[in-house]
Amino acid sequence: MIKKQKPSIKSIHFFLVGNNAGNVVRMLHQTTNIMKIIMRLFIILIFFSVTLTGCYYDKEDLLYPSQTSCDTSIVTYGQTIAPIMVANCNICHSTAMASGGVVTDNYNGLSIVAQNGQLWSGVSWQSGFSPMPKGYDKLSACNLAKIKKWVDAGALNN
Ligand code: HEC
């Protein structure tokens, strides 16, 4: 009985060699070259998509400072002022380490310097006051406008 067999590599080779092997082999080479090019394009595509999505998380107001408008329509302690303190001040003015006796990491501490004028004088770098944040750039004009508005409105715990 003759068993049915799958074509072995040898028989495929024989088939190719027996049938214009040169052309078939050339065709196979071309196919692998095309595959290589496609792979390269694919890798480039992945690279670009990764680097471009990296920009997604960049801060808009840092990339386009002149184009973002400063919205001071709603300024509250909780939503506006506390985050500015977290980002710029609390590292030196926490309850645990209150530089110069000033605490900015809670409302009670901050309201003291807000009410007595030290907060605005410090962040607006007025002469006779220690310029804040000490050793760093002045706060952005937008953040200053928000602090001014909050202080002028009575530095409420809102
Ligand atoms: C790197 C530490 C550091 C940072 C950041 C910092 N401060 Fe100060 N701050 C100090 C020190 C130290 C003093 C005490 C005065 C001095 O040594 O200049 C002080 C003093 C002050 C005073 C009293 C100033 C005066 O002359 O009466 C205020 C108000 C103040 N800081 C608010 C802030 C605010 C608001 C921020 C954030 C925008 C801030 N500080 C960020 C270290 C810092």
Query: Measuring from atom 14 of ligand 1, which residue has the nearest CA?
Result: 100
For 93, list phi and psi in degrees, rounded to 5.
Answer: -125, 40
Structural domain includes residue 63: no
Site to probe by mutation for ligand 1, drawn from 99, 121, 136 as the one with most ligand atoms within 8 Å of Cβ, is 99
What is the predicted pLDDT for the residue at 115? Answer: 98
Please, what is the average pLDDT of the chain? 86
Q: Judging by beta carbons within 10 Å of its beta carbon (0-12, 13-18, 19+), is residue 98 exposed, middle or buried?
A: middle
**Residues of the chain above pLDDT 90, percent:** 56
CB atoms within 10 A of CB 153: 11
Site to probe by mutation for ligand 1, drawn from 84, 94, 102, 104 as the one with most ligand atoms within 8 Å of Cβ, is 102
Structural domain includes residue 1: no
Q: Would you say residue 66 has pLDDT above 80?
A: no
Q: Are residues 43 and 101 in the same domain?
A: no
Q: Would you say residue 106 has pLDDT above 70?
A: yes
54, amino acid identity = G
pLDDT band at 55, cuts 50/70/90?
A: low
Return d(Cα 117, Cα 131) in angstroms, integer: 13
The residue assigned the tokens 């590599």 is 9
List, chain by chain if needed, residues with CB within 6 Å of any ligand 1 atom. 88-89, 91-93, 99-100, 102, 104, 113, 118-119, 122-123, 129-130, 132-136, 139
Q: Are residues 44 and 81 in the same domain?
A: no
Structural domain includes residue 83: yes
Enumerate the H helices of 19-117 as residue ranges. 21-54, 60-63, 82-88, 107-115
What angle separates helix 21-54 from helix 9-18, to the nearest 10 degrees?
110
Q: How many domains does the chain have?
A: 2
Q: How far is the CA of 76 from the centre of ligand 1 (A)?
A: 22
Structural domain includes residue 23: yes
Structural domain includes residue 135: yes
Indicate the DSSP class of residue 79: I
Q: Would you say residue 135 has pLDDT above 70?
A: yes
Site to probe by mutation for ligand 1, drawn from 97, 124, 132 as the one with most ligand atoms within 8 Å of Cβ, is 132
Q: Are residues 146 and 93 in the same domain?
A: yes
Q: What does the pLDDT look like over 1-13, one tens digit per residue?
A: 666 666 666 665 6
Both tokens assigned to 143: 């953040």
Full residue range of the structural domain in which residue 130 is found: 77-152
Q: Judging by beta carbons within 10 Å of its beta carbon (0-12, 13-18, 19+), is residue 148 exposed, middle or buried?
A: middle
What is the predicted pLDDT for the residue at 48? Answer: 74
pTM of the model: 0.67
